[in-house]
Amino acid sequence: MQFETDIFNVAFEAVQKLFNVKVDTERIQLQRTKAEFEGDITLVVFSLTKISKKSPEETGSLLGHYLLNHSEIIQSFNTVKGFLNLVIKDEAWLHQLKKAQQHAHFGFAVSKKPGTVVVEYSSPNTNKPLHLGHIRNNLLGWSVAEILKADGNEVKKVNLVNDRGIHICKSMLAWLKSGNGETPQSTGLKGDHLVGKYYVEFDRMLREEKQLLMEQGLSEDEAEKKSTLMEEAREMLRQWENGDKDIISLWKTMNGWVYEGFDVTYRNLGVDFDKIYYESETYLLGKKIVEEGIKKKVFQKKPDGSVRIDLTEDGLDEKVVLRSDGTAVYITQDIGTARLRFDDYRFSKMIYVVGNEQDYHFKVLKLITKKLGYDWSDAIYHLSYGMIDLPSGKMKSREGTVVDADELLNDLFAESERITKELGKIDDFGSEEAKQLYRSIGLGALKYFLLRVDPEKRMLFNPAESIDFNGDTGPFIQYTFARIQSVLRKARMTEALCEYENRQFSNQHVINKEERELIIHLLQFPYVVHEAAEKLSPALIAHYAFSTARLFNHFYHHHSIADIENSDTSAFRLKLTAFTGKVIRSALQMMGIHAPERM
């Protein structure tokens, strides 16, 4: 918060002088004053009454007088119960505003922090197309990485493609059995969708087989074990790990289709990576580490051939790290991948953006790396985000209740086109320019919708209502930006005002209520960015961007910015408007949302 340290220091000194005690720093609590009271910053004095041995009102009043006399920036104060509300001088705000406006990258950290932060996100399986849940993951990961960069961190975005394992074999097997040589070219299907079709097909065939077995009196578990299809899939995985030429070749082909499809979706979403890891390239290292771990007695080889780790003492269970047939499981490769990453980046922190359904997995991963003696184990952090629910419940790919990423994007682009055309504000745009705008508005709606919610919390998406373009939405913020640019454009074409950028205002410039509120809010931006980075929460940026837009619109409707008699006031307001635009653009940028000049 702006002026926090200034006031803190004087308050600290005040307590010492007035009550003759050196206080613990946490006793001095500062916060923004609530809107319904007069003041900008509030000192909560309850915790100081024990020291002052006076009533909260009296304590506040004594401190208030001291602060008023010893701080340059305080205009006045009032006490309500145990709250000491401080009014900061307008000239102090204006002074800060001037400094902020001169800042080339206001809101972004000035100095670099030591160390490298690795952010893993996306991490798709190559057996099915991306859905809404993956979109939340991608946008969260991307945005968290950008926010960390803005806060001065060296950041590497990495993706871990889960390109091997039993699930891929299922798609391959189904394609071999009933694919008739279909390809993306022959079907016109996007590659990831084609492969996904066969993953679903495998599941259908398996259910059929299990049904037959269960009719013979087997339980579901037994049926799964007895299933010849499952056995074939497992056999395929063994052949794959043995490097069987045909299997590898088919695997390469089908994964290739998926990657082409993913690339399109990633491009649409505007996410990118510094490095892509493939499980097929890390699982062997994982297996090697497991072998070493057996010697170190971290893992135990069981009579059935499987390798396990006993985590019961840590409150968890016994965990398999290698199957009895020697093949690797999920955690095996994750151990290898983590180690490889450390060798690559020597990270000071590694953030895994992965859904909360895997909380257990990451507890295990952290524990295993710890037991293996890796000191970077503590640097592992699981950014665990909530699932997206539909009104009907959880999304399930097998039951076809998923919201497909590509479909959703296209729907949003179409909706944005419809609304834009209806409003008719960009009728002079060329078709390509218009198309770009439809995309950026559709994406703005989607990204804001997903990022505004606290990552930890699960959220609800209603396909029937889809995503709004009015109110607390991305397009509202984009619209406010476009409106700002429009005002500035007009002013630049006015002879009396075109020089507004070069005009300097005095700290004694008189400001109104709406301007004051907006200025104070704008000056919070760097603190918000810092907090968002600490909490790894793009939601804080989203809320901030929204309230910035709301405050600006409020100001806009109460005062005329450009066409007024007084050119000093006008120049001041134009500069304030331009600065607001800059802050909004930076905030949107951290969420990957484009700020359009017109819409």
- 3-state class (DSSP) for residue 318: strand
Which lies closer to RNA via its Cβ, residue 125 or residue 255?
Answer: 125
CA distance 338 to 346: 11
Which lies closer to RNA via its Cβ, residue 58 or residue 182?
Answer: 58
Per DSSP, 112 falls in state P
Which lies closer to RNA via its Cβ, residue 4 or residue 378?
Answer: 4
Bridge partners (DSSP) of residue 328 are 322
CB of 171 to RNA, least distance (A): 12
Which lies closer to RNA via its Cβ, residue 143 or residue 473?
Answer: 473
Q: Identify whether the C-beta of residue 467 lies closer than 8 Å to the C-beta of residue 540.
A: no
Alpha helix (H) residue ranges in 42-125: 49-52, 56-70, 90-102
CB of 166 to RNA, least distance (A): 5
CB of 368 to RNA, least distance (A): 13
Which lies closer to RNA via its Cβ, residue 155 or residue 525?
Answer: 525
CB of 336 to RNA, least distance (A): 13
CB of 349 to RNA, least distance (A): 19
- The closest alpha carbon to 171, from 290, 255, 246, 99, belongs to 255
Counts for the chain of helices (H) and strands (E), in that order: 21, 15
CB of 116 to RNA, least distance (A): 26
- Cα–Cα distance list, 480 to 136, 485, 486 (Å): 25, 9, 10
Which lies closer to RNA via its Cβ, residue 91 or residue 454?
Answer: 454
Q: Identify whether the C-beta of residue 30 lies closer than 8 Å to the C-beta of residue 4.
A: yes
Which lies closer to RNA via its Cβ, residue 116 or residue 278?
Answer: 278
Which lies closer to RNA via its Cβ, residue 127 or residue 155?
Answer: 127
Which lies closer to RNA via its Cβ, residue 46 or residue 374?
Answer: 46
**Tokens 């006490």 identify what position?**
79
Q: Name the burial class of residue 484, with classes exposed (0-12), middle (13-18) and buried (19+) by CB atoms within 10 angstroms of its CB.
A: buried
CB of 291 to RNA, least distance (A): 17
- The closest alpha carbon to 135, from 449, 537, 359, 435, belongs to 449
CB of 527 to RNA, least distance (A): 10
- 3-state class (DSSP) for residue 349: strand
Which lies closer to RNA via its Cβ, residue 155 or residue 437?
Answer: 437
CB of 181 to RNA, least distance (A): 26
- The closest alpha carbon to 451, from 408, 392, 388, belongs to 388
Which lies closer to RNA via its Cβ, residue 287 or residue 483?
Answer: 483
Residue 513 CB neighbours (<10 A): 11
**What are the residues whose beta carbons fall under 8 Å from the beta carbon of 465, sequence distance 6 or more?**
none
CB of 107 to RNA, least distance (A): 18
Which amino acid does the sequence have at 507? N
CA distance 595 to 482: 7
CB of 165 to RNA, least distance (A): 4
CA distance 555 to 564: 15
**DSSP result, 9-52:** HHHHHHHHHHHS-PPPGGG-EEEEPPTTSS-SEEEE-GGGHHHH
CA distance 90 to 70: 17
Which amino acid does the sequence have at 114? P
Bridge partners (DSSP) of residue 349 are 117
